[in-house]
Chain A
Amino acid sequence: MSAHNNGIWSWITTVDHKRIGVMYFVTALVFFVIAGVEALVIRIQLWRPENDFISAETYSQMFTMHGTTMIFLVAMPMAVAFFNFIVPLQIGARDVAFPRLNALSYWTFLFGGIFLNSSFLFGAAPNTSWVAYANLTSSQFSPGHNVDFWLLGLSILGISSIMGGVNFITTIINLRAPGMKLMRMPLFTWMTLVTSFILVTALPVLAVALILLAFDRFFGANFYQPMAGGDPILWQHLFWIFGHPEVYILILPSFGVISDVIPTFSRKPLFGYPIVVYAGIMIGFLGWGVWSHHMFTTGLGPIADAFFVASTMIIAIPTGVKICNWIATMWGGQIRFTTAMLYCIGLLAIFTLGGLSGIMHASAPIDLQQHDTHFVVAHFHYVVAGGVMMGLFAGLYYWFPKVTGRFMDERLGKINFWTYFVGFNLTFFPMHISGIYGMPRRTWTYAAELNIALPNMLSTIGAFIFALSALILVYTIIKSAISGEPAGPNPWNAATLEWSIPSPPPHYNFAEIPTVRSREPLWREEERREIEAVTLKVPDVEPVMPNSSYMPILLAFGVALTWGLVMTGKWWAPVIGLSYVGVCILMWAFEDPFARKGA
């Protein structure tokens, strides 16, 4: 492995999709811990009625940052970590289509995350919840920089996501190995493709919502201000036209993960592969037609309400189909209960529960009752903290041997899973009850007369068990990375292409690009031998890979810098940042990724 060293600079300048994947994961894990601490602060405050652990203002900042961080800085980038590491390996490619752009996506995400969290240093953390409804966000009602940090930080993260989406669509369509037809792709790659399409189409809508908000705040345009002729509901439409597809951006990668993990640990091909693919595409499409179910209480009128009730209930069909397919895959299989498999089964159970409470408030009359209560908090934590995160952790335990060449510790893994499962349910199940009793969301305390002290205490105890589980996870990752049991190329005896190469993979991935003849190439003896003959050998001449580059980190820094300078309020300040960005882009354009060093 000549010319591939391990110093800190080699990581900063890397354009290798595998290293970028690892950096995405580690960064997301750090933000996971931060968001977890914010959640604990919230739970301590809600431990008993009329508690005064933190002020109402701090409480607002905590739940806003917890939600924003979990969605944009944990769930999305953790899925993107797997996109990065796994997808090129699953399709038989040496890297993504645009390696430097990929590095730029990562650094933009990192600086965006730092930008958002730096608001704490100025005592101006966003405090208008992750949905930031107008006209609470106007200069009149939010005069500080809190909302500015939020809207500028999110727009940086949006740029990162769009670049990632473009990259992965191009990669999956164009860089497949010979014979890797669309309907032979592993499900995780399929769901990455669908998710990427949602990314490139949904994030621009958020961008417009944020731009209108920026016009309101910086230029006094008052798009969302009713007293000036604007329309606060416009924000809700734009936000949820982005926001609902966003929830499928979150869940589809996890669906992809478990569609690969369950067959492996059941020793059976995925039941009804085409149907699972089509159901995923269907969810991606239908996800665009349901946004107003977040807005039943705004008074859209019976016709709009009826439409969105129906479309929301329809989307349960492809989701239900998938769940039946996963169960049917396990049916009659030789199931191995590894930690990865436990997380998959956990997802099936918990996501189904979250889906059922989702169908409850898909119905407008019921939603009117449940809107803005802790019942909704329970619902979306069942689908996100239970569904999304469990799927991602299944992926972690499953692919960790591929990434590091070592197994995750299974004993600690099982403890991690069970504390997660118990802690999760103890935290969020009681919220159904406190919600039905009328406990409002986004309110720093509750009255003793509501009779919800018990469920809240249970939730707080659960949250600490949940946090313990997260600590065990972090410990397990570190311990296993250092001293885990060594794993061979295909430790789980899985079927897909990423398991045909050494663990950890060489930096060029495939010594020679293999030819694929079926959906489960490594489960067909003849095909496996044929593939491994080219993938496990050491090449005589190492394949040429693109050079590492400083430009992604420099350019990403410029973007964050420019956005930061916008907040000074001086018109010339962002111009300085823009000039710096311009210089970076020019240097980027003139850099030849394949130039021979010293030539």
Chain B
Amino acid sequence: MNQSATAVMDHRHPMPGMQVYNLKLGMWIFLLSEVMFFTSLIGSYIILRFAHPDHWTQPGVVLNVPLTAVNTFLLICSSVTMVKAFACIEQGDQKGLKLWLLGTIMIGATFVGIQAYEYVHLIHEGFVPNFAAYTAEGGNLYGATFYLMTGFHGAHVTIGVLCLIFVLFRAMKGAYTSESYGGVEIIGLYWHFVDLVWIILFTIVYLL
């Protein structure tokens, strides 16, 4: 972060030792909290799965791995477009910023859309969290942990898309410059984090 940008981001206080502006530091701390959240989800998953392997099936029997692999690829692409958007505004390229932000939003929305389609399909097959209503192969813990983990991740992507729309809206009004791009940078941090979490979740929920 360059000095002039921090001056714009926080005009009330001189900078002490750490050369990170408040919003960015706050986002890092928030992501620390998110790490604990997803770690707890994954930890619970591991405990339940090791204790009750009979609830799980071979990968690909119930879940549609190829479809989600495409979805995973899309989400990784959206991290690239996010980086491009950030790189553009660092150079002061307003048009590039808006274009890449729009791209990120569209890919993110597509991801959520495909996930919703997948949910509808799975629920139709009786792959549900409810113990009594579960009729797919395996046991209901499989379904329950699936919706728990992918659901919370999906909610994160949805919130990310909404925030990106807000950032795009501000970008249209010319709120960001090569000197002041805090909003783009911190939503970028969040977006990359959510992306990273998905790579882990995809591996353990779909592939293992």
> Using a CB–CB distance below 8 Å, which chain A residues touch chain B?
93-95, 97-98, 162, 165-167, 169-170, 173-178, 180-182, 200-205, 207-209, 211-212, 215, 219-223, 225, 228-231, 234, 237-238, 241, 513, 543-544, 586, 589
Which residue of the partner chain, among B12, B29, B47, contacts A166 with CB atoms under 8 Å? B29
* Given contacts A200-B32, A589-B166, A174 and B37 within 8 Å (CB-CB): no
Docked-complex contact A181 and B17, CB < 8 angstroms: yes
The reply to whether A174 and B15 form a contact with Cβ atoms under 8 Å apart is: yes
Query: How many inter-chain contacts with C-beta < 8 Å in the A-B complex?
Result: 131
Enumerate chain B residues within 8 angstroms of A177, measured Cβ to Cβ: 16
**A94 x B47 contact (CB < 8 A):** no
* Cβ-defined contact, A237 with B131, below 8 A: no
Q: List the 10 closest pairs (A to B, CB-CB), nearest first.
A: A208-B40, A221-B144, A204-B37, A204-B36, A220-B130, A200-B33, A221-B129, A97-B22, A176-B16, A222-B131
- CB neighbours of A204 from chain B (8 A): 33-34, 36-37, 40
Q: Find chain B residues with CB under 8 A from A169 CB.
A: 25, 29
Contacts of A222 on B, CB cut-off 8 Å?
131, 140-141, 144
Contacts of B26 in A (CB 8 A): 97-98, 166-167, 170
What residue of chain A has the Cβ atom nearest to residue B6's Cβ? A174
Q: Please, how many angstroms separate the alpha-carbon atoms of A202 and B37 in the complex?
A: 9
Known contacts A97-B22, A178-B16, A225-B131; decide if A201 and B36 are in contact (CB<8 Å): yes
In the assembled complex, the CB of B26 is this many whole angstroms from the nearest CB of chain A, namely: 5
Complex Cα–Cα for A345 and B117 (A): 64
Q: In the complex the two chains form, is B51's CB within 8 Å of A201's CB?
A: no
Tell me if B12 and A544 are in contact (CB < 8 A).
yes
Measured CB to CB, the closest approach of chain B to A404, in angstroms, equals 26
CA A352 – CA B13 in complex, angstroms? Answer: 42
- Knowing that A94-B13, A200-B36, A229-B140 touch, tell me 16 more A-B residue pairs with CB under 8 angstroms: A93-B13, A162-B33, A166-B26, A166-B29, A173-B18, A174-B16, A174-B18, A175-B13, A180-B16, A204-B37, A208-B40, A220-B132, A221-B140, A221-B148, A230-B48, A234-B47
- CB-CB contacts below 8 Å: B49-66 with A: 51-52, 54-55
- B199: interface (CB < 8 Å): no
24 residue pairs A–B, Cβ–Cβ below 8 Å: A97-B26, A98-B22, A166-B30, A170-B22, A170-B25, A173-B18, A174-B25, A175-B16, A181-B17, A200-B29, A200-B30, A200-B33, A201-B33, A201-B36, A204-B34, A205-B37, A215-B144, A219-B144, A221-B131, A228-B131, A229-B140, A234-B47, A238-B40, A513-B13
Given contacts A200-B29, A200-B33, A208-B40, contact A223 B18 (CB under 8 A): no
Contacts of B32 in A (CB 8 A): 200-201
Residues of B within 8 A of A (CB): 10, 12-18, 20-22, 25-26, 29-30, 32-34, 36-37, 40-41, 44, 47-48, 51-52, 54-55, 129-133, 139-141, 144, 148, 152, 166
State the CA gap A221–B44 with chains docked (Å). 13
Q: B144, A223: Cβ atoms under 8 Å?
A: yes
A53 to B51, CA, bound (A): 45
Q: Are B41 and A208 in contact (CB under 8 A)?
A: yes
Nearest Cβ in chain B — how far from A223, in angstroms?
A: 6
Instruction: Give complex CA distance A201, B30 in Å.
Output: 9
In the complex the two chains form, is A229's CB within 8 Å of B22's CB?
no
A220 touching B41 in the complex, CB below 8 Å, given contacts A98-B26, A174-B13, A174-B25: no
Q: Smallest CB-CB separation from A196: which chain B residue?
A: B29
Question: What is the CA–CA distance of A98 and B26 in the complex, to the nearest angstrom?
Answer: 9
Most buried by A among B41, B140, B144: B144
Most buried by A among B14, B40, B141: B40
Residue of B nearest to A546 (CB): B12
Do B141 and A229 have beta carbons less than 8 Å apart? Answer: yes
Kindly state the separation between the CA atoms of A200 and B35 in the bound complex, as whole angstroms.
Answer: 10
- A223-B44 contact given A170-B22, A173-B25, A178-B14, CB 8 Å threshold: yes
A173-B15 Cα distance, complex, nearest whole Å:
10
Contact B130 A223 (CB under 8 A): no
> How close is B143's CB to chain A, nearest CB, in angstroms?
8
B14, B47, B133, B152: the one within 8 Å of A237 (CB):
B47
Query: Which A residue's beta carbon lies closest to that of B18?
Result: A173
Q: If A97-B26, A180-B16, A204-B40 touch, does A211 touch B129 (CB 8 Å cutoff)?
A: no
Q: A165 vs B29: C-alpha distance in the bound complex, in angstroms?
A: 9
- State the Cβ distance, A123 to closest chain B Cβ, in Å: 29
- Cβ-closest chain B residue relative to A206: B40
Nearest CB of B to A598, in Å = 21
CB distance from B85 to the nearest CB of A (A): 19
Shortest Cβ gap from B193 to chain A (Å): 14
Report B-chain residues with C-beta under 8 Å of the C-beta of A166: 26, 29-30, 33
Question: Could you say which residues of chain A place their CB within 8 Å of the CB of B48?
Answer: 223, 230-231, 234
Would you call B133 and A220 a contact (CB within 8 A)?
yes
Q: Within the assembled complex, what's the spacing in Å between the Cα atoms of A223 and B145?
A: 9
Contact present for A229 and B20 (CB under 8 Å): no
Looking at the assembled complex, report how far the CB atom of B16 sits from the nearest CB atom of chain A, in whole angstroms. Answer: 4
Bound together, the chains give a CA A175 to CA B20 distance in angstroms of: 11
Query: B129 to chain A: which residues have CB within 8 Å?
Result: 215, 219-221
Q: Give Cα A393–Cα B25 distance, bound, in whole angstroms.
A: 33
Determine the distance from Cα of A174 to Cα of B47 in the docked complex, in whole angstroms: 39
The closest CB in chain A to the CB of B27 belongs to A166
Chain B residues within 8 Å of A200, by CB: 29-30, 32-33, 36
How far does the alpha carbon of A225 sit from the alpha carbon of B129 in the complex, in Å?
13
In the assembled complex, the CB of B153 is this many whole angstroms from the nearest CB of chain A, namely 13
Check A212–B30 contact: CB distance below 8 A: no
Give chain A residues whose Cβ lies under 8 Å from the Cβ of B16.
Answer: 173-178, 180
Query: Complex Cα distance A93/B37, Å?
Result: 31
A230 touches B141 (CB 8 A): yes
Chain A residue nearest to B33 (CB atoms) is A200
Residues of B within 8 A of A167 (CB): 26
Chain B residue with minimal CB distance to A225?
A: B131
In the complex, what residues of B have CB within 8 A of residue A203's CB?
Answer: 33
CB distance from B55 to the nearest CB of A (A): 6
Most buried by B among A93, A94, A201, A225: A201
* B154 to A: closest C-beta gap in Å: 14
* Complex CA–CA separation, A462 to B22 (angstroms): 49
CA distance A229 to B55 in the complex (A): 8
Q: Shortest beta-carbon distance, A437 to chain B, in Å?
A: 37
> A174 to chain B: which residues have CB within 8 Å?
10, 13, 15-16, 18, 20-22, 25
Chain A contacts for B44, CB-based, 8 A: 208, 212, 223, 234, 238
Q: Once bound together, how far apart are the Cα atoms of A175 and B10, in whole Å?
A: 10
Q: How far is the CA of A231 from the CA of B50 in the complex (A)?
A: 11
Contact B139 A229 (CB under 8 A): yes
Shortest beta-carbon distance from B49 to chain A in Å: 11
Q: Which residues of A contact B52 (CB under 8 A)?
A: 229, 231
Question: Are A94 and B12 in contact, with the CB atoms below 8 A?
Answer: yes
Within the complex, the shortest CB–CB distance from A235 to chain B, in Å, comes to 10
Question: Nearest chain B CB to A134's CB is how many angstroms away?
Answer: 12
Q: Chain A CB within 10 Å — which of B13, B16, B32, B54 has the most?
A: B16
For B183, the closest partner residue in chain A by CB is A589
CA distance A302 to B6 in the complex (A): 54
